[in-house]
Amino acid sequence: MRRRRLAPALATAAVTVVLALAPAAWSAPQVPADKPQVLSRWTQPSAASYQEWAEAREHRAAWAAYAFDWSTDHCTSSPDNLFGFPFSDACARHDFGYRNHRTAGLFSAAKARLDLAFHADMKRVCAQYSGPRRKSCDGTAWTYYQAVRLLGIS
């Protein structure tokens, strides 16, 4: 008879402990406090910033705690490889900057820098060419830059 009374009491105690611990166990993980600094570091116009972002993109699972938005539509409605110039990675980093700065509430302060970084990324693509091909690439990069500078909102 004593066992029958003890079992419900133990079950009640176990449920109480689980419920007391539940909020800590079920709460969403905290995003690291340095997320804005990491985001800023990965969206500067420098080649080093681009390389750091590209490395992180390659190993994005390691950055899961930061909850970055890695999605991209590349160059939106513009061709990713207009005239054969491969700008899709520059567009992907630009999307990364726009989307994540917008989510963080930092877009207005960062937009000009993000657009400059986009232009710098495309100019680095153009640096592999010479002569008229380079001039054509630089002109295309300038056109894309002007479009996002004036019209970029997403």
Residues forming the active site: 94
Identity of the residue numbered 123: K
Dist CA 40 CA 52 (whole Å): 11
Q: What is the DSSP letter of 46?
A: S
- Burial tier of 142 (Cβ tally within 10 Å: 0-12, 13-18, 19+): middle
Question: Which segments within the chain are labelled E, that is strand?
Answer: none
The b-or-e profile of 10-49 (16+ CB within 10 A means b, else e) is: eeeeeeeeeeeeeeeeeeeeeeeeebeebbbebbbbeeeb
Alpha-carbon Rg for the chain, nearest whole angstrom, is: 24
Dist CA 129 CA 7 (whole Å): 79
